[in-house]
Amino acid sequence: MYRCLSNEVLATLGEHRGVAEALFPEGGFSPGPGQKAIADFAKALGTGAEYQRLFALKKDDEKVRVFLGHFQNNLDLLIQKTWVEKAEEARKEKLQDEIPPLIALIKQGDFLQAIEEFGRVLDELAYLFFGTQSSKEDFTEYTFRIDPQIGLFWWYGSQLGGLKGTGKNGALSDESLWALLLIGLCYLTDF
């Protein structure tokens, strides 16, 4: 779902407001954000150097494959370390089972499908981290109050659904889709 920022969140964004609006302009992507907007957003999240290093490589480079292994390992650790009620342990296990297919989509270069899957992973991860708060309308504002970078990341995650239909002969190239996905991968690998 495409969620616009409320005035409260826009005020909270402060110096990052322009970066956020450049990456995900209201009204969608036509022809999409440029590489500078994507790189600036990665920098605002604190992952700019890692993002730049990885984006400069070919997608099938050994260093990218190693990075994807680190991403998977860190995400597994994040999922394992979350505390949930015993009744929801199956939800954690199900989420862990969704990571290898996500990695496979990335390795295949199906970035639009990978972004859709990544969005679902983020929704489940948000639930594991924040419980039912993650499904409330003010979730983004809630995360901004915790920490502006965390809020910016979860807002980014909420915007990924707006990319549906923008790839594969749409407005965004595979390179742009990879760049947008790489932002989130870098953030969670360093989380």
Dihedral angle of Cα 40, 38, 54, 134, to the nearest 10 degrees: 100
pLDDT of residue 1: 32
Dihedral angle of Cα 31, 37, 42, 48, to the nearest 10 degrees: 130
- Tokens for 93, please give them: 């296990």
In the chain, what are the helix, strand and coil shares in percent, each to the nearest 5? 75, 0, 25
pLDDT of residue 48: 95
Q: What is the CA radius of gyration of the chain?
A: 16
Q: d(Cα 82, Cα 103) in Å, to the nearest integer? A: 21
| Location of structure tokens 């923008």 | 166
In SS3 terms, 52-112 reads as HHHHCCCCCCHHHHHHHHHHHHHHHHHHHHCCCCHHHHHHHHHHHHHHHHHHHHHHHCCHH
pLDDT in tens, the chain (191 residues): 334 555 655 555 666 677 877 887 776 655 556 788 899 999 999 999 999 999 999 988 999 999 999 999 999 999 988 887 887 888 999 999 999 999 999 999 999 999 999 999 999 999 999 999 999 988 988 998 898 889 899 989 988 877 766 655 566 888 989 999 999 999 999 98
